[in-house]
Amino acid sequence: MGMTIVQKILARASGKTAVKVGDVVEPRVDLAMSHENAALVLNQFQEIFQDTGREARVWDADRIAIIFDHRVPAESSKTASNQKKVREFIAKQGIRKFHDIRGDVGGICHQILPENGYVRPGAVVVGTDSHTTTHGALGAFAFGIGATEMASVWTLGNILNVEVPGTIRVNVDGEFPPHVYPKDLILHLIGLLTAEGANYKAIEFHGEAIRGMSTSGRLTLCNMTVEAGATAGIVPPDRETLRYLREVAGVKDPVELPASDPDAGYERVVDLDAAKLEPQIACPHTVDNVKPLGAVAGKKVHQIVVGSCTNGRLDDLEVAARILKGRRVAEGTRMLVFPASWRIYSDAMRLGYLSDLVDAGAVVCNPGCGPCLGIHQGALGDNETALATTNRNFKGRMGNPTAEVYLCSSAVAAASAITGVISDPREVK
């Protein structure tokens, strides 16, 4: 039997010709990403070297990326001090893939990595963030790990005791109807698989709807595979991947396009028809509580959020701006917009999307994770309801355990901003 793309990537990174599902390997890591939690990683890293008589040095400074995004600019002196400590460490170790709080190169880690060409097809990418699955969109095997695990990677350069995951193959054929987006597809899939349906597995995407999808959409898909418990999501790289790497990420060196063997083994195959999809909503308090929009249409919304590593890219802002241009955010509803990077912010400014949004009454904030995980801006009041293009709706997620968070595409978010209630973008006149 042949190998899946994930098996091939892990075999190569582990110096083997072949691996089977369940094999335990110790692949070398091509890119190790952290955000503010690098403060904890470096604490654990220094502990590893304690009493060894050796200076704490990272294995390869060029394979480490650190991006400040969770609390930018710092919301407290504690965060500022953690960021300061990390900056000092970065300077000392000579880490160059560092994206500080800056209006030119800053942004959310899962946008910064792809748009700077840090992620290549076939790479092994680990990050101290569960949404590291995002980078499977470029054909990498990318997964989230904890801070201590990362300290071990910084020390050794490989990740210990990885079990080769089985793969769920998802074939998506058909064309997306108007106002239906990759976010609707991934929400639908999570509802189908459940929050634990892909635990310890990879999800591999195929089909004409995926081949015809931009890298931006693929990033949305892979980003949220972790919400079904998946170790990783992956889109086998193709011409679109190559286009993105050359035109957007500015990659000049040769790029390989690994693929699954035709006779690779899959644990499960899910066939979906994009043409049959309609706008989806993930309802409180689990991401797999997914319903067609109609089931919750009319629900009053106090805060709308467009942004995050899931849906804060240029096409998401374009959709929101197109719907809101010349209209107004409803009284009693506030709308917050967080572009995923400053590059996107700048493009959206140049293209007029930001002024369309601001003129409509939206608040455009600086790129960063924002309210997604309730630690920076945009917390919710008691018993308020939010509708967000983010990735999680767990109780307390947006900073208030009595509040409710619904998840949707940026089209649904923008259509609902006009009315102040959950609304269908297909019905915006």
- Judged by the rule CB under 8 A, the positions of this chain that interact with another protein are 24, 36-37, 39-40, 43-44, 47-50, 52, 54, 70-71, 76, 78-79, 82, 128-130, 144-149, 151-152, 155-156, 160-163, 195-196, 199-200, 229, 231, 286, 288, 373-375, 379, 392, 394-397, 399, 401
**Whole-angstrom Cα distance, residue 108 to residue 314?**
13
Q: Which helix (H) or strand (E) holds 132?
A: none
Q: How far is the CB of 71 from another protein (least distance, A)?
A: 7
Q: How far is the CB of 176 from another protein (least distance, A)?
A: 28
Q: How far is the CB of 338 from another protein (least distance, A)?
A: 15
Q: How far is the CB of 280 from another protein (least distance, A)?
A: 19
Q: How far is the CB of 56 from another protein (least distance, A)?
A: 10
* CA gyration radius, the chain: 21
Question: Which is nearer to another protein, 9 or 249 (by Cβ)?
Answer: 9
* 143 three-class SS: strand
Q: Which tokens go with 282?
A: 């993930």
Q: Is 292 left (phi over 0), alpha (psi -120 to 50) or beta?
A: beta
Taking a C-beta distance cutoff of 8 angstroms, is the pair 243, 268 a contact? no
Q: How far is the CB of 398 from another protein (least distance, A)?
A: 9
Q: How far is the CB of 341 from another protein (least distance, A)?
A: 21
Question: Which is nearer to another protein, 160 or 275 (by Cβ)?
Answer: 160
Question: Which is nearer to another protein, 49 or 266 (by Cβ)?
Answer: 49
Tell me which amino acid residue 217 is.
G
* 109 three-class SS: helix
Q: How far is the CB of 409 from another protein (least distance, A)?
A: 21
Taking a C-beta distance cutoff of 8 angstroms, is the pair 111, 368 a contact? no
Question: Which is nearer to another protein, 73 or 401 (by Cβ)?
Answer: 401
* 323 three-class SS: helix
Task: Give the per-residue SS3 of 8-58.
Answer: HHHHHHCCCCCCCCCCEECCECCEEEECCCHHHHHHHHHHHHCCCCCCCCC
**Whole-angstrom Cα distance, residue 204 to residue 270?**
10
**Whole-angstrom Cα distance, residue 357 to residue 338?**
11
Question: Which is nearer to another protein, 227 or 240 (by Cβ)?
Answer: 227
Residues 123, 127, 130, 136, Cα dihedral to 10°: -20
Q: How many CB atoms lie within 10 A of CB 332?
A: 9
Q: How far is the CB of 130 from another protein (least distance, A)?
A: 4
Question: Which is nearer to another protein, 167 or 423 (by Cβ)?
Answer: 167
Question: Which is nearer to another protein, 7 or 215 (by Cβ)?
Answer: 7
Question: Which is nearer to another protein, 141 or 345 (by Cβ)?
Answer: 141
User: Which residue has 């880490």 as its token pair?
Assistant: 95
Question: Which is nearer to another protein, 70 or 343 (by Cβ)?
Answer: 70
Question: If 0-12 CB within 10 Å is exposed, 13-18 middle and 19+ buried, where does residue 214 land?
Answer: middle
